[in-house]
Amino acid sequence: MSPLHTPSKEHPILVLGSLGQIGTDLVETLRNRYGAEAVISSDKKPLRPEYGRYIQLDALDAAGLEAVIEREGVEQFYHLVALLSATAEKFPDRGWDLNMRSLFIALELAKNGKLKRLFWPSSIAAFGPNSPKTDCPQYTVMDPSTVYGISKLSGELWCDYYHRQYGVDVRSVRYPGLISWKAEPGGGTTDYAVEIFHEALKTNHYTCFLGPDTRLPMMYMDDAIDSTIRIMEAPSEQVRIRTSYNLSAIAFTPAELAAEIARQRPGFAIDYRPDFRQQIADGWPSSISDEAARRDWGHKPRFGMAEMVTDMLEHLRPRYRSGI
Ligand code: SER
């Protein structure tokens, strides 16, 4: 296969699910890096002028996706469509269908030479209750107990299979909970760590759907985007793992996050009303070891919890200025 072109107007990157939490930040960063026209944003919603170069696409419309890729000269594809852990528990068949079928469509396009490089995210949800709780290693017991986790672990194995059998250049990371201010997450178990900031600025109070001591691996979006682009730009031989790389940055509990917010915003208070998401969180590791990602292609997160809290409050404050 001919080598990859630098992303450009003629060979744009396609980001599917671009209006979601990751896509919103990723598209902006990729456009700053390669130019506005070098990135096609695409999602289910109808076009709006502020989306820039945008095509409305359904992740399950294989023919539509193929037509866009051929017509626009797309070589690199970021597949960011999924039902997350909490939503997929409510709609198991929809979660499985969307998460798996959309991945197969992308893998088949790559296998048939329509794409040169594919990014597909996995998650800490691919681990399960019998995986090690702390510093969970790259290779270990994986027994996910959620629909989302099962789809991620299965997807990882399929990525590896397509790489070995058909030479598909697919790259993946297991994201921890992602914290960001540009777009809100939807339907995840780690969403509390974003909601808490909005509520802190609105009412100085948050009722958390996880208990105070539920420690989970987390990462600020800036670091997640940096590593996502890093793995996609790494020479192929450096990407040795083709299932998915553990990715880690910080780990904290709701109580610890609340204490840091209260330090920076006196008077903030939290209480706890755990719901069904507690059980999901309890099945995940509380921290992750990511030596392989650091060694193979230079994963290097910068944000600690305090810097992340400062940055979140600073960026969200203008949105709620009329509040207290
Ligand atoms: N943030 C995701 C979720 O909570 C985990 O990958 O579902």
The set of catalytic residues is 148
Each residue's pLDDT, cut to its tens digit, for the chain (324 residues) gives 678 999 999 999 999 999 999 999 999 999 999 999 999 999 999 999 999 999 999 999 999 999 999 999 999 999 999 999 999 999 999 999 999 999 999 999 999 999 999 999 999 999 999 999 999 999 999 999 999 999 999 999 999 999 999 999 999 999 999 999 999 998 999 999 999 999 999 999 999 999 999 999 999 999 999 999 999 999 999 999 999 999 999 999 999 999 999 999 999 999 999 999 999 999 999 999 999 999 999 999 999 999 999 999 999 999 998 654
Q: Strand, coil or helix: what is 250?
A: strand
Radius of gyration of the chain (CA): 19
**Residue 221: which of 249, 179, 187, 172 has the closest Cα?**
179
CATH 3.90.25 is held by the domain 178-217+250-287+300-319? yes
Determine the residue of 85, 179, 192, 277 to mutate for testing ligand 1's pocket, defined as the one with the most ligand atoms within 8 A of the Cβ atom: 85
User: Which residues, judged by CB distance below 6 Å to any ligand atom, belong to the binding site of ligand 1?
Assistant: 84-85, 123-125, 148, 175, 177, 188-190
Per-residue pLDDT tens digits for 1-34: 678 999 999 999 999 999 999 999 999 999 999 9
Look at residue 2 in the predicted model and tell me its pLDDT: 74
Compute, in angstroms, the gap from residue 178 CA to the centroid of ligand 1.
Answer: 8
pTM of the predicted model, to two decimals? 0.97
Continuous H helices in the chain: 21-34, 62-72, 85-90, 92-111, 147-166, 192-203, 221-233, 254-264, 277-282, 291-297, 305-316
**Run of H or E residues at 81:** none
Which residue's alpha carbon is at the smallest distance from atom 6 of ligand 1? 123
Q: How many CB atoms lie within 10 A of CB 176?
A: 29
Which CATH code is given to the segment(s) 13-176+221-246? 3.40.50.720
Pairwise CA distance, residues 172 & 122, whole Å: 6
Same fold, 13-176+221-246 and 178-217+250-287+300-319: no
Domain boundaries, the chain: 13-176+221-246, 178-217+250-287+300-319
Per-residue pLDDT tens digits for 48-98: 999 999 999 999 999 999 999 999 999 999 999 999 999 999 999 999 999
Compute, in angstroms, the gap from residue 4 CA to the centroid of ligand 1.
Answer: 31
Mean pLDDT of the chain: 97
What is the total residue count of the chain?
Answer: 324
Compute, in angstroms, the gap from residue 280 CA to the centroid of ligand 1.
Answer: 10
